[in-house]
Amino acid sequence: MRINVIGYGTVGKAQAFLMRKLEHEVFIFDPYVFPSITAPEESVDLTFICTPENAVDESVQALIKERVKGLYVIKSTLSVGTTEALMKKYSVHIMHNPEFLRENSAYEDVKNPDRIIIGQCCKEHGEKLASLYSPMKKPVYITDPTTSEVAKLLSNSHLAMLITFWNEANELAQKLGLNIRELAEMVTADSRISSYGTDKFGEPFEGKCLPANLDQLITAFHGAGSNPLLFEAIKKYNQRLSK
């Protein structure tokens, strides 16, 4: 396939790397990184949008303006309902295919995902995108775009919750004069309990993803008329640690 990658940050670089590894022809469009390239490639089979969320709408506009052919697929993490809203706004088919990357190991993560989630615009396009990933032999979940958006936010918010759990457990251990690493080893010996978050006790979760995704999830709860007590508490505790 001939594939555009819009945005050449961590996500865009990893996605371009993966597509080349799968032996596709890749074109990069990012005016901040490659100012000499003034427009995305027009004659392609598929375009991955890998920009920050605030540039996704602009990217879709650019693709339509330049009459770029093929499927439009957003890799960016989005606020809930964004993909559906963009499809209605521009009357085009768009899919959401979230990334699950760590910034310091993005190339390794993109080669070895635990799963691939496709928020399809329609069955035909969903199957076409799934076939692109089929050589990787990983579980593929095909759903609607809003479910895909929420799955990404829940995934990162769950990780934020685990970090917070162990940070608060560490606070109790310190008060009681106990060894938190010994406690964590005993507790996580239960195969049902994750050890994620036990590598850096007492440190808040930071970076580009977890805090922002937690905020997006909280906003989704409020937009749905619900009060996210757990997720609000996670945010509040993490803010206290960050001071």
Q: Tens digit of pLDDT for each residue in 92-107?
A: 999 999 999 998 899 9
Note if 209 is an active site residue.
yes
Is the domain spanning 2-143 CATH 3.30.70.270? The answer is no
Please say whether the beta carbons of 175 and 105 come within 8 A.
no
The burial class, CB within 10 Å (0-12 / 13-18 / 19+), for 118 is buried
| Domain chopping of the chain, boundaries | 2-143, 150-242
Q: How confident is the model at residue 74 (pLDDT cuts 50, 70, 90)?
A: very high
What's the CA gap between 75 and 51, in Å, rounded? 8
What's the CA gap between 7 and 59, in Å, rounded? 9
> Would you report the helix, strand and coil content of the chain in percent, each value rounded to 5?
50, 10, 35
Structure tokens at 208: 């580009």
| Mean per-residue pLDDT, 203-227 | 96
Residue 153: pLDDT above 90? yes
Structurally, at CATH architecture level, domain 150-242 sits in Orthogonal Bundle (1.10)
pTM, two decimal places: 0.95
For 57-68, the DSSP string reads: HHHHHHHHHTT-
Residue 137: pLDDT above 90? yes
Which among 50, 121, 122, 209 is annotated as catalytic? Answer: 209
